[in-house]
């Protein structure tokens, strides 16, 4: 068998790597799958250039990592592919998906493990996506604050994020909410990661409201620390695959009124836990 050399080029010390020599339209053999899987767990987000994927091929790639997730609020816009979330912005957009630092659908009791975004169309400049390592964010905290947070849980809610968001009737609809540990243990790497985000996390359960608000504001600002980040400059047909268990991301909407369009496939995850 002839092995195509696969190169892993790290973007920053904490997060992100570009993988060269992988064709995601082919069903990956065991060796390549393991390499991609391990790179995702190690780097938190991995990038691929010049991919040519049909919706079926993108979904088949996602299914190698688990069952596909159906978004709790967004309408399926690609006929026959309810698992594809369309990421779109143009001159009519009032907002775009993922403008706040967040981990995808963390309001689900079992939030997605990963998300695979395939970009079809880009503005002439701008529209990058930023990623932040939640391992680095956790590790940078002082020991007393780590110990305090390790005993805590927080509410993550979809209501304020999704209600009215997609221009579809949603009266009477109940959006997910869930209580998760503030520090989670990654089920594969065993590393600890900060797991609160500005998009979905509304309060720390064990604290009084003003205490919770102050601590969450501090943690949301902490996530914004540039040394935890990498920034991905998309090209048409790039793919980003991020691990929602260990990174957050932020879509930069600096290109209005230009168009940006892509398809996201999201892989189901399991219930976050903390292991001492």
Residue 205 neighbours by CB under 8 Å, 6+ apart:
152, 153, 154, 155, 179
Of the candidate residues 17, 22, 87, 265, the single one contacting ligand SIN (CB under 6 A): 87
Task: Based on the residue annotation, tell me whether 184 is a catalytic residue of this protein.
Answer: no
Longest distance between any two alpha carbons in the chain, whole Å: 62
Binding to ligand SIN by residue 44, rule CB under 6 A? no
Task: Based on the residue annotation, tell me whether 102 is a catalytic residue of this protein.
Answer: yes
User: Taking CB under 6 A as the criterion, which residues in 123-182 touch ligand SIN?
Assistant: 129
Choice between 106 and 129, CB closer to ligand SIN: 129
CB of 16 to ligand SIN, least distance (A): 13
Q: Which residue is listed with tokens 């980040």? A: 229
CB of 260 to ligand SIN, least distance (A): 7
Task: Based on the residue annotation, tell me whether 88 is a catalytic residue of this protein.
Answer: no
Q: Which of 71, 81, 104, 186 is catalytic?
A: 104
Of the candidate residues 251, 267, 269, 272, the single one contacting ligand SIN (CB under 6 A): 251
Burial call 203-213: b when 16+ CB within 10 Å, e when fewer? bbeebeeeebe
Q: Which of 102, 180, 192, 229 is catalytic?
A: 102
The total number of residues shown for the chain amounts to 276
102 and 111 Cβ atoms separated by less than 8 Å: no
CB of 264 to ligand SIN, least distance (A): 5
User: Taking CB under 6 A as the criterion, which residues in 230-249 touch ligand SIN?
Assistant: 249
Binding to ligand SIN by residue 97, rule CB under 6 A? yes
Please report, for residues 86, 109, 175, the alpha-carbon distance to residue 79 in angstroms, rounded to integers and kept in the order given: 11, 28, 24
Q: Which of 229, 249, 260, 263 is catalytic?
A: 249
CB of 146 to ligand SIN, least distance (A): 28
Shortest CA distance to 33 belongs to which of 1, 59, 63, 11? 63
Q: Which residue is listed with tokens 């695979």? A: 116
CB of 200 to ligand SIN, least distance (A): 12
Q: What is the β-pairing status of strands 247-251 and 45-48?
A: unpaired
Dihedral in degrees, nearest 10, Cα atoms 33, 58, 72, 200: 60
Task: Based on the residue annotation, tell me whether 20 is a catalytic residue of this protein.
Answer: no
In angstroms, the CA 137 to CA 269 distance is: 21
- Interface residues with ligand SIN (CB under 6 A) are 87, 97-98, 115, 117, 129, 249, 251, 264
Give catalytic residues, as residue numbers: 102, 104, 249, 264
């Amino acid at each position: 068998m002839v092995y195509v050399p696969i190169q892993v080029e790290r973007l920053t010390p904490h997060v992100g790597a570009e993988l060269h020599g992988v064709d995601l339209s082919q069903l990956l053999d065991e060796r390549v799958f393991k390499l991609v899987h391990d790179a995702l767990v190690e780097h938190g987000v991995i990038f691929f250039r010049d991919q040519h994927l049909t919706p079926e091929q993108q979904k088949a790639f996602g299914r190698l990592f688990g069952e596909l997730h159906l978004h709790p609020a967004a309408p399926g816009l690609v006929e026959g592919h309810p698992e594809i979330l369309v990421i779109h912005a143009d001159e009519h957009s009032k907002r775009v998906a993922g403008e706040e630092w967040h981990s995808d659908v963390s309001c689900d009791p079992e939030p997605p493990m990963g998300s695979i975004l395939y970009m079809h169309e880009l503005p002439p400049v701008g529209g990058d996506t930023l990623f932040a390592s939640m391992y680095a964010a956790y590790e940078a905290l002082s020991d007393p604050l780590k110990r305090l947070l390790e005993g805590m849980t927080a509410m993550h809610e979809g209501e304020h994020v999704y209600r009215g968001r997609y221009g579809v009737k949603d009266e009477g609809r109940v959006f997910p909410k869930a209580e998760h540990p503030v520090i989670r243990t990654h089920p594969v790497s065993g590393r600890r990661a900060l797991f609160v985000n500005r998009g979905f996390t509304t309060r720390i359960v064990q604290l009084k409201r003003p205490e919770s608000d102050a601590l969450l504001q501090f943690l949301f600002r902490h996530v914004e620390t540039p040394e935890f980040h990498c920034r991905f400059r998309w090209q048409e047909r790039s793919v980003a695959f991020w691990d929602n268990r260990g990174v957050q991301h932020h879509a930069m909407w600096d290109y209005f009124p230009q168009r940006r369009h892509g398809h996201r496939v999201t892989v189901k995850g399991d219930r976050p836990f903390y292991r001492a």
